[in-house]
Amino acid sequence: MSIFGLPLSVTARAGTNIALVKYWGKRDATLNLPATGSLSLTLANFGSETTVRFAPDAESPDGGDRITLDGTPAPPPFAERVSRFLDLIRHDARVGLPAEVATHNSVPTAAGLASSAAGFAALALAAARAAGMNLAPSELSALARRGSGSAARSIFGGFVEMAAGTQRNGSDACAQELLPAGAWDVRLVVAIASDGPKAIASSEAMELTAKTSPYYAGWVQAVPQDLVAARAAVLAQDLAGLGRVAERSAMRMHACAMAADPPILYWNAATLAAMDTVRRLRSAGTQAFFTIDAGPHVKVLCATRDAVLVEPALAATPGVLRTLVLAPGPGAEVVREERR
Ligand code: 2P0
């Protein structure tokens, strides 16, 4: 934004992240405040790039923001969610202009690989800068959280911890970096277990779980100990310690969701087979540990040198469609700024 001259167009990039201590449930849906903290790994080369420009000529034919996703007009639910998020920035920055938003994803949208984490992190950074706001990283993280809880973590690189916060306005419900991307030589090997969209969107599934699962209170109560153990394991670069917490956190999150009414089950046969592959690898002496998000895919944490064993074992697992080997990556960053 500029009062003088041409509007500022800002392009930002963010990587997706995978939680090792899961976020599943909110304490406030309006401010999107999580019920618990979470801990994640931000990934390289697997995310979103978004360009934002607030300007009078950015208005779409129907009078709203002009929003594209991978070069074509964004589907209405996506565009509405983005516009609602931009309204927060317009309010805070006192900008009364429509925005032009062009998002490109290198994460398959809505496949349980967290495209919203990278998407809202990149959008928060690009839109805040384009609106002339100068936010500290923690403020940017709290802003990204309003778009999607997991996006708060993608503002930072490497291993990241998200705090549940205690303030009613959510100002302390933000993430911080625990260990930068280059500090620990690990990989996440992803076993893609289906090509379809997820069975139920995570926001909706979390709400249903919180309302109907008898295990929800136990889940919320158990997360803080997992965070203490996972944080210590990250700082000590203790793979077995971190892996043990990650598997337990994922199993508890899914157990809690499975006990909702109606039940939420994200797994398929390939998910179970891949979990079995990880256990067999471990029995044979390879340190590998799984986590599973709101979808059937299995993500396996291992040392970089062991990815050459883990990847073929997952690729040969019945029902696994393909595999990806992902490295830790940086936090959200501005890649281009121009006046046009
Ligand atoms: C996580 N997930 O910690 C958990 C584990 C999925 C499974 O955060 O409602 O898309 O937008 O705040 O961030 C996915 O939830 O939910 C997620 P909203 P979000 O990664």
**Tokens standing for residue 279:** 């256990």
Residue carrying structure tokens 């930072």: 156
Residue at 331 is within a domain? no
So what's the pLDDT on residue 295?
A: 92
Q: Answer with the one of 183, 200, 228 that is the final residue of a domain.
A: 183
Residue at 336 is within a domain? no
Number of structural domains (the chain) is 2
In single-letter form, the type of residue at position 38 comes to: S
d(CA 255, CA 215): 8
The model carries a pTM of 0.96
Residue of 202, 247, 249 best suited for mutating to test ligand 1, as the one with most atoms within 8 Å of CB: 202
Q: How far is the CA of 88 from the centre of ligand 1 (A)?
A: 20
Q: Answer with the one of 183, 216, 246 that is the final residue of a domain.
A: 183
Residue at 251 is within a domain? yes
Residue at 52 is within a domain? yes
pLDDT tier at 131, thresholds 50, 70, 90 = very high
98: helix, strand or coil: coil
Tens digit of each residue's pLDDT (9 = 90 or more) over 202-256: 999 999 999 999 999 999 999 999 999 999 999 999 999 999 999 999 999 999 9
Q: Same domain for 238 and 152?
A: no
Contact predicate 274/314, CB 8 Å: yes
Tens digit of each residue's pLDDT (9 = 90 or more) over 249-292: 999 999 999 999 999 999 999 999 999 999 999 999 999 999 99
Q: Same domain for 207 and 169?
A: no
d(CA 153, CA 48): 14
Q: Same domain for 152 and 243?
A: no
pLDDT tier at 110, thresholds 50, 70, 90 = very low
Q: Answer with the one of 183, 211, 234 that is the final residue of a domain.
A: 183
Cβ neighbours of residue 164 under 8 Å, at least 6 residues apart? 27, 33, 34, 35, 36, 37, 173
Q: Same domain for 262 and 303?
A: yes
Q: Same domain for 176 and 32?
A: yes
Residue at 163 is within a domain? yes
The H or E element spanning position 67 is strand 66-69
Determine how β-strand 99-105 pairs with β-strand 66-69. parallel
CATH number for the domain including 150? 3.30.230.10
Q: How far is the CA of 201 from the centre of ligand 1 (A)?
A: 9
For 14, the domain range is 2-183
DSSP category for residue 319: T
Residue of 18, 23, 198, 290 best suited for mutating to test ligand 1, as the one with most atoms within 8 Å of CB: 23
Q: Same domain for 176 and 198?
A: no
Residue at 340 is within a domain? no
